[in-house]
Amino acid sequence: MFKRIISLAVIAAFSTSAVLAAGGGAENKKQDWHFDGMFGTYDKAAAQRGFQVYQEVCAACHSLKYVAFYNLGDKGAPFFDPEYPNPNDSPVIKAIAKMFTIIDGPDDSGDMFDRPGITADKMPAPYANEMAAKASNRGALPPDLSLITRARSDGSNYLYSLLTGYEDAPEGMKMSAGMSYNPYFAGGTQIAMGAPLTEGRVEYSDGTEASVDQMARDVVEFLTWAADPKMEQRKQTGWAVLIYLFLLSLLLYGSYRAVWRNVKH
Amino acid sequence: MSGQSNYNPKTGIEKWLDARLPIIRLGVDTMIFPSPRNLNYWWTFGAILAVMLVSQLITGIILAMHYIPHPDMAFDSVQHINRDINFGWMLQPMHAVGASMMFLAVYIHMFRGIYYGSHKNPREMIWIVGMVIYLLMMATGFMGYVLPWGQMSIWGAIVITNLFSAIPPEAAGTAVTQWLWGGFTVDGPTLNRFFSLHYLLPFLIVAMVALHIWALHIPSNNNPTGISIKTKADTLNFHPYYTVKDAFAIAVFLMIFSYFLFFKPDSMGHPDNFIPANPYSTPAHIVPEWYYLPFYAILRAVPDKLMGVITMFASIGVLFILPWLDISKVRSMRYRPLAKQFFFLFVLACLGLGWAGAKLPSDLVFATGVDADGHAVGLTFVWMSRLLTVYYFAFFLVILPLLGLLEKPKPRPASIEASVLGTDKGEV
């Protein structure tokens, strides 16, 4: 009975989120991910390649405002190096930060100025503000990607399906100007973003072939990390807590039996 | 029980203190009091709820140190907590998932009370205070869900506060709604006052829990047989017998909690709440947290807005007068063959309402065919809600009073002791 109530409550909870997957209508393409399951971790090599895809493709329009450069070298992050437990010391992280130009200020004379990025900076946004972003994209606002895989139902599969799901519009369908057809899009079937990934769009330094499928999988790995950067820590702690509670409940059950041994109940 | 005390101060210091501030006596008499010897695991949810309440208070107080109740900063501050604060990644989901777990436990606790007749004479006040706690929990949970200021936060707040605008303007409906908002729409002032009240209400819950437990110490616990305690042989001291049993149940419950907290932290929430609140963009489908879904279904089952709001509040109000609707003299449904069946149907109706609350009213539960245009037709969720809402109210207002008059209960054991030892069956 207890189990039944729990499972029904859980089903109720899950079905709530499932309901909200309304939109374009096509079922997400289910992928096996390295981060799936209770033992899942991020595939660091894939997430590093995904960072390259984000930086060279997505970052032209999409911000990643909750991620600071040092986050990239945190424990569980794509560029974590055990030699540098403090990611601010990591030469890789410093080099990444330096590639970006940060607008800082105002200085003593009241002017804003440009400087190279440091590890403590957040990733800079491509547009100065929301209106500028809309003006450059025919009125559509490219969303911030920091939480994108958690802000969509079944987000990682959704994002993969969206990125690999561009098709020619079906015969006779009236497309609005500048829109692309994508049956996986949550907001309908017409999406303002043109297909962002094309064969060989980036050149991977590790020699991996940059197919659309590969780039989509890599950038999903990276953005899933960006949305849930403490996942590995969380799962590790979870196992420790579950094992502790299991042993504790065995002890408590033993105590219960001992205290009640002479009582018929 | 009431009036008696199990505390005998032995040392000089204890005697001195007991004559001036009998706080040790309070503690001893809270924990050492005679309880029925036959309480089953359904009785452990009270202690589980106490633990969850403390967990919510501790995590909440820490979160409030870092949270910023401002529409431009609330969402960012929750991300800051999850990304930058030490153990914030654990505390914030612990609070959010903890709320769900607390509601899960409170629903089991309430169903247990109804099944075993724990609301009946002489425990009506325990039940009513419990219902006040439940109402406070609902208000607290609702306002807490608004604080992260995501899309479901703001739109949930808009939908729920607009319920009060169902009151006609001449009857101050508009005035009340604007007073709740602190303006002309859900905005910064609303967020600010919700934060303030979200911090206040849990302490009222603590006070009500103290009353709930105090009231419990007068007649002691009900028990699965529903038979009153008659002799000392019917009882065991709460400590150590039930403290140890509760502790075991708490550890098991915390394992379930931990599974969701560490491995499925988003499963109890809604993806849209990871999108910052935007008053100009309505989500495709606004749904409340799972624990409000049955009431949401009742609200939407009624075509008229004001009547829907009244029906929804009545569905909670009817629980307050349950002790006077369930008039059977037999407390436990273990000995009420008909009531038991209607009770399980009632549990199913509540779950069904929860299911309907999560769906669009026009969605089909099942299809029976197609209409002339080729669209599937069948039972829609709004009609299922209507049927189940009728059963929900009929259970309290018709079935329970009638059963009290008509049902022939099965024979009950002579005492708790007799039921435990299996002797003397068949006496009433």
pLDDT, tens only, B143-156 = 999 999 999 999 99
Q: Are residues B280 and B315 in the same domain?
A: no
pTM above 0.90, yes or no: yes
Please check whether residue A155 lies inside any domain of the structure.
yes
Residue B119: is it exposed, middle or buried by C-beta count within 10 angstroms (0-12/13-18/19+)?
buried
Q: Are residues B355 and B252 in the same domain?
A: no
Residue B426 has pLDDT above 90, yes or no: no
How far is the alpha carbon of B233 from chain A, nearest alpha carbon, in Å? Answer: 11
Alpha-carbon span B417 to B421, nearest angstrom: 6
Alpha-carbon span A260 to B241, nearest angstrom: 7
Share above pLDDT 70 across residues of chain B, in percent, rounded to a whole number: 98
Q: Which residues pair with A191 in a beta bridge?
A: A180
| Alpha carbon separation from B293 to B66, B358, B390 (Å, rounded) | 30, 6, 16
Residue B81 has pLDDT above 50, yes or no: yes
Q: Are residues B43 and B125 in the same domain?
A: yes
Please check whether residue A6 lies inside any domain of the structure.
no
What does the pLDDT average to over B174-201? Answer: 95
Residue B369 pLDDT? 84
Please check whether residue A119 lies inside any domain of the structure.
yes
Please check whether residue A242 lies inside any domain of the structure.
no
B83 contacts A265? CB cut-off 8 A: no
Residue B3 has pLDDT above 70, yes or no: no
How far is the alpha carbon of A257 from chain B, nearest alpha carbon, in Å? Answer: 9
Residue A17 pLDDT? 41
pLDDT category of residue B117 using cuts at 50, 70 and 90: very high
- ipTM score assigned to the predicted complex: 0.92
Instruction: Tell me how many degrees the CA angle B126-B128-B129 measures, rounded to the nearest 5.
Output: 65
Cβ-Cβ contacts under 8 Å, B359 against chain A: 15, 19
Residue A4 pLDDT? 46
Residue A238 has pLDDT above 60, yes or no: yes
Alpha-carbon span A128 to A100, nearest angstrom: 15
B41 touches chain A (CB under 8 A): yes
Question: In total, how many domains does chain A have?
Answer: 1
Average pLDDT, chain B: 94
Residue B425 pLDDT? 53
Q: Compute and round to an integer the Cα radius of gyration of chain B.
A: 24
The residue type found at B128 is: I
Alpha-carbon span B98 to B91, nearest angstrom: 10
Quick one: how many helices (H) and strands (E) in chain B?
Answer: 17, 4
Q: Are residues B146 and B245 in the same domain?
A: yes
Please check whether residue B319 lies inside any domain of the structure.
yes
Please check whether residue B428 lies inside any domain of the structure.
no
Q: Are residues B107 and B169 in the same domain?
A: yes
User: A135: how many CB neighbours lie within 10 A of its CB?
Assistant: 11
A259 contacts B351? CB cut-off 8 A: no
Q: Which of B107, B254, B285 sits opposite A19 (nearest CB)?
A: B285
Cβ-Cβ contacts under 8 Å, A230 against chain B: 82-83, 89
Cβ-Cβ contacts under 8 Å, B254 against chain A: 245
Please check whether residue A249 lies inside any domain of the structure.
no
Please check whether residue A250 lies inside any domain of the structure.
no
Residue B51 has pLDDT above 50, yes or no: yes
What does the pLDDT average to over B4-32? Answer: 92
**If you ran DSSP here, which 8-state letter would residue B428 be given?**
-
B274 contacts A147? CB cut-off 8 A: yes
What does the pLDDT average to over A69-80? Answer: 96
Q: Are residues B274 and B347 in the same domain?
A: no
Cα A52 versus chain centre, distance: 14
Residue A23 pLDDT? 52
Q: Domain of B165: which CATH number?
A: 1.20.810.10
What does the pLDDT average to over B88-117? Answer: 98
Residue A47 has pLDDT above 70, yes or no: yes
Residue A13 pLDDT? 45
Closest residue in B to A259 (Cα) is B241
Residue A15 pLDDT? 43
Q: Which is more confident, B208 or A13? A: B208
* Segments forming the whole domain that contains residue B142: 33-288
What does the pLDDT average to over B275-289? Answer: 93
Residue A6 pLDDT? 47
pLDDT category of residue B1 using cuts at 50, 70 and 90: very low
Please check whether residue B222 lies inside any domain of the structure.
yes
pLDDT digits (tens, 9 = 90+) for B341-376: 999 999 999 999 999 999 999 899 988 888 888 888
**B254, B101 contact by CB (below 8 A):** no
Residue A20 has pLDDT above 80, yes or no: no
Share above pLDDT 90 across residues of chain B, in percent, rounded to a whole number: 88
Sequence-separated (6 or more) residues with CB below 8 Å from residue A95: none
**A116, A104 contact by CB (below 8 A):** no
Q: Are residues B73 and B175 in the same domain?
A: yes
Q: Which of B79, B269, B287 sits opposite A66 (nearest CB)?
A: B79
Residue A108 has pLDDT above 90, yes or no: yes
Alpha-carbon span A64 to A166, nearest angstrom: 23
Q: Which of A15, A71, A150 sits opposite B266 (nearest CB)?
A: A150
Closest residue in B to A154 (Cα) is B271
Instruction: Tell me how many degrees the CA angle A68-B195-A66 measures, rounded to the nearest 5.
Output: 10
Please check whether residue A79 lies inside any domain of the structure.
yes
What does the pLDDT average to over A7-14? Answer: 46
Beta strand spans in chain A (E) = 101-104, 113-116, 180-181, 190-191
Q: Are residues B140 and B280 in the same domain?
A: yes
For residue A28, the number of C-alpha atoms closer than 13 Å in the C-beta half-sphere is: 18
Q: What is the DSSP string of B131-198?
A: HHHHHHHHHHHHHHHHTT-BHHHHHHHHHHHHGGGGS-GGGTHHHHHHHHHTSSSSSHHHHHHHHHHH
B109 touches chain A (CB under 8 A): no
Sequence-separated (6 or more) residues with CB below 8 Å from residue B27: none
Residue B424 pLDDT? 59
Question: In total, how many domains does chain B have?
Answer: 2
Please check whether residue B272 lies inside any domain of the structure.
yes
Q: Are residues B117 and B52 in the same domain?
A: yes
Residue A3 has pLDDT above 70, yes or no: no
Residue B376 pLDDT? 85
Alpha-carbon span B219 to B229, nearest angstrom: 9
Average pLDDT, chain A: 91
**B146, B154 contact by CB (below 8 A):** yes
Please check whether residue B184 lies inside any domain of the structure.
yes
Residue B241 has pLDDT above 90, yes or no: yes
Q: Are residues B346 and B265 in the same domain?
A: no
Residue A102, phi then psi, degrees to nearest 5: -110, 135
Query: Is the preceding peptide bond at B240 cis, omega within 30 degrees of 0?
Result: yes
* Segments forming the whole domain that contains residue A148: 28-229
Please check whether residue A260 lies inside any domain of the structure.
no
- Return the number of CB contacts < 8 Å for A and B: 135
Q: Which is more confident, A53 or B363? A: A53
Q: Are residues B376 and B233 in the same domain?
A: no
Q: What is the DSSP string of B263-302?
A: H-TTTTS-GGGGSBP-TTS--SS----GGGHHHHHHHHHS
Residue A74 has pLDDT above 80, yes or no: yes
Residue A18 has pLDDT above 60, yes or no: no
What does the pLDDT average to over B98-110? Answer: 98
Q: Domain of A174: which CATH number?
A: 1.10.760.10
pLDDT category of residue A16 using cuts at 50, 70 and 90: very low
Q: Are residues B283 and B309 in the same domain?
A: no
